[in-house]
Structure 1
């Protein structure tokens, strides 16, 4: 039996509708009937529930008969328009259905009314309608140990017989309708499994023998169960329930609205997605009764699933097709279910995009959705448009080293988690085959080598080129190469020279990149006396290894400087420096051209400060094109009587990872002193004012990556 429950309170129980009051008033002044139909014991309404589609009153036949003459004034489909009539007594009858002896789901509705029509009168007559035949339905209780499904083949049911006619009730929800006052006979029929033969069991019960059970508008519900009985099974009546039914509980399926479709995830029948995304792609069917049939056609552009391209009829679906659709991620509805949907969400998650950049159109056509013997109006076409995932491969200069690099990925469109889990990296030189890595960190590379690298996800990939940095050794980092010029000779008897201008290189050209000092400055006055002009950085045999080291001193000097410690006059007090760079127009310039990325700076030092002072060691790596410092590390050291190694790890600034190094410098400074701390010179012309003394040897850059 099919039930419809209306939830809108103001319309509850209302089935049939009169024409509007305005229409009634517009037709007054004419003789005739205005007929409205209403279900008995229900409240009349002026509007038809929208859920019913067309007004259900139009399904009725209306017959108006003159009670005196017996002539029919009207015998046709119901109308809410004025039916002209002359004065007299009339019987008005509204009916729906044929009132068959016995049929499945065939309700018969009837209502009558009498009216006395005066001449010139326009009268509204309400006809109360009700269910005029009776019906029965069966419930099979499968909750016990023995179930109907396990013991009988699928053809079991209850045969209903009335006056030589018969029909069979199964578990499909249909009801048997028969004329009021009939005395139907009920018999269980079924075929036992495993060759057990046919079984027929008459169903007898006091309710099934009572005429009141089969009166007009009565619904007889029979519940059956199986009980164990030696030597076989016994079919028993669990209960019989008899209820009165109303028209809105027995409305014919065809009166219910056509199926409707709500598409989740689609906008204007289109769902746009990128491969790896998992959008909802689901068709929910708004049904007034159980799903009877579904037909749909697939035309998928995705090569992987083109084998699914065909038209499917749900009731005729082969196991092979059902399995193929299920494996592809399609969830099918069940015929007989009122809550039904066709779900392509699983398939959508598997769809891929084209490697050529083309958008693939995967078309789903709903050809037929059938319920309550009505079908969806016209085919509905939906498209899932799929594009390839959009991602970028970037290898930043700041993530590239001499022996490794990190491939950075940017996911623009697509499921980032899915792409990252499934992607691989490949790299090669012009002379090697592709090598694969699951890790974005590619190691074991050759310094100063060009590589081609690509990011792969499925059949999609992005490529770029990267060059590892060369290993650049520091020239004269062992402090073994020196040169010098003697200072000027004096004019008095002890001529000298009393000092040297030292160069930390084999030549004397400090206008080119290399190790430099402030000697150009502290000897710029070229005075013969060492306490007036001298080198703050010079060669020393007090070394860590090899033959020499750099001795970097804070010195007093300058024109007018005297040598009378501790009462000397000191005009200039300058910390000594050793740095990578050059001297340009008698001005120091830090930095040499340098295009690599070391990981560490190592040097050996000892330090004898005059007072509680510290020396400074610094390494700076920069991009002079953009005038930014890519890395800067500073170390301040205190007194150290013996040589010790210092290893400085170089931290690079991540915000400048997109820039390459162009220059680098290393700087050592002996540290500040007061004049009194450097006041050491005596009256001897070779005597010098000296403060802090820093020894530096074996400077090297480390390339651990």
Structure 2
């Protein structure tokens, strides 16, 4: 190696002179599309040590450095083996950004001749211009030197050292070696070979492990305190350094044997034991470690494609495991004892539970090997490592699924090949976005040697014809994932309009034959029947008819047992018959009828009263009581009243015998069930509401489903409602004035506002004794669900209704007198479902 002993500044000066010579160019040159690079290379041989910055070997001549120019993407543009060959004037570099690098020596070589430098920088080249570039090169290795004190030399009769690098190189340091060696970054293990009288043979001691970094120097001084038989390794000439190491080098310690490893349950290094993949071994596969001087390390090197795929580390020190490696080795069956934080001289490593995780990553058999080496506190290593070899015999684990299964099937059967215990195979189906394990009760296996017929029972019928059915089988660490399809059914049963086809007492269902069976499957009332599930028995629905024009079956007589909040659930299917016998079935169709819902407080038994305070001109503050058809603690209020229209006027002639009362109240007379009915009356109110008449305004009584504002006007109309009744019935009694008529209307709407059914009474006539009236619903369409119901009753259809003065009548359980017009009583509203 060519070196020149000079300081850094002098070298840089020479480089500048060379640059100046190369920069003598003709001003007339005009490169097109490119420019020039005026390159200067500087080298620095300083390295970092723990105690100081130390000068190392002399710096090579920069003319001997190599030079390269590369694009930003790493593509090499030009390269010169020696910087002296670079002609700045003759080298035109295209416009752009480049990485300019210089180096000396081989960056991968390790040893005493392994000195190397490297440096790079970024340069922007502009057209017709010269860009100055300076590359500072530094040592890109770690430097290691070893020296010995006189006390050390006197204690041992012979000695030497070597360094083992992470690249697998071994560099020997003889007893008289004073040079430093160079190493690439990484862990370096330092060993001493020493011989002493009274010790049998040379002893190898592992005295230090260095985490070597570039541009760092590591000086190790070997010293001995003969009085205490202690070896001191002084790091970078610093006696106080925490990185210094002490060893017991008494004769007894040096004579202690290297660690040994004994195999139990197998023979180390012998021909591999063969185990069918996924299988297990009887007994133990144990390695027994004994280190008389104390364990310091236990290296496990594993060669297994299967274990590597499962996250098992290829090379690891079992006494210095990361939490991640510890967890993974334990998960995959390795049992370790005596290698933890309380380790001493004896430990065991057991492999028998690892064997079930060994499998073949290919079609043939596969080899796995485990090599275990122990090291004691003096660096003595097991002379003969323990080797466990295992051959996994391919178990032929494979499954052959059917391409498809019939629509509505609950089971799927397939063939499985396996040399092993088929009962240990786990099968999974996909549901709720995750794999679900089939229970033992849902797996049936029939075996004939290594061929097995497996039948899986699914928790629900297979009816999804659009997506593949996912399948997963797992045996040990080997997993098979496949899929199959569900055939289009020969017969399908569906709801043409979804839930809108299911009413409270009936349902419309559609039966279709698949495309492949349509020619032989004619849908009619004679070929198809709708069945329902009664427990585990299928029965024919007793009331069914077929509309060939609409292509729908009508099922009536449903909903028996429904309540006003819940419908009745049914499971249906269609059966295709030939010669009176069913030959194929559709999948199951679950439906739930609508509830037989009723309006709230339909019998008008729930009431409460409120006090309205107002100021009368002549009599001060007065109070009036009015009545509302719901309980005070009700959270779901259905009805609204217009009573405030008769409550807000000032009454200057307040008389206890003649009281203005609200248009709506309850009455205990003429009811058909319960204690109360609702009374809707026309009332005239005003400043002169006296028996002889006066300045008054009549208001027809009004009640409706919805809400009222503070003036007694409609604020909203309707209430949420999800059922479709066939008719409405209610009891009424009507006492009109001047042959007036009462008004009633009921309306059912869809969510989009479409009126689905409506009925009304526009000219209700007198009914002195009371009667029940029924109004049918005729629905405008069958393909929409009801979303709300609205209902209203009025005591008169006239805008200015008539009234009589000084009328006394029962209201809310007591007689009251006022200006009363037509009176309408309503009770027991019933929504009928037929």
- Aligning the two structures, in what range does the TM-score lie when normalised by the shorter sequence? 0.3 to 0.5
Please report the TM-score for the alignment, with normalisation by the length of structure 1. 0.39
- Greater RCO between the two (CA within 8 Å, min separation 6)? 1
* Greater share of residues in strand: 2
TM superposition score normalised by structure 2: 0.33
